[in-house]
């Protein structure tokens, strides 16, 4: 009886460790997906900004510049998560 309880405890422990592994993998995949979503939203806003100021390139560069900086930062973040 004692051995059965010990085996059940061991199996429960191994199953819980496996669950932790899958949770960690889920968190990594979720963070990558969040970064990709943020990148897509910024890229869309950047394109809209460029379209809005297409007739005035210096103004477009000035006003849309923060988008390029944010896109670079996200790219660096994405590279570090790989």
Provide the pLDDT for residue 58.
94
Q: In this predicted structure, what is the pLDDT of residue 44?
A: 96
| Range of the structural domain that residue 62 is part of | 2-81
Short-list 20, 1, 2, 24, CA closest to 12: 20
Checking if the pLDDT of 12 tops 70, the result is no
Rounded mean pLDDT of 9-19?
58
- Residue 73's pLDDT is what? 86
Work out how many domains the chain is built from and give that number.
Answer: 1
70 contacts 24 by C-beta, under 8 angstroms: no
Q: Give the model confidence (pLDDT) of 30-44 as tens digits.
A: 988 998 899 999 999
How many Å is the Cα radius of gyration of the chain?
24
For the whole model, what pTM was predicted?
A: 0.64
């Amino acid at each position: 009886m004692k051995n059965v309880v010990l085996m059940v405890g061991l199996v429960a422990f191994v199953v819980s460790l496996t669950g932790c592994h899958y949770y960690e993998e889920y968190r990594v995949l979720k963070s990558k997906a969040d970064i990709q979503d943020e990148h897509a939203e910024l890229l869309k806003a950047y394109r809209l900004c460029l379209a809005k100021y297409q007739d005035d390139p210096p103004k477009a560069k000035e006003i849309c510049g923060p988008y390029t900086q944010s896109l670079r930062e996200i790219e660096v973040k994405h590279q570090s998560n790989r």
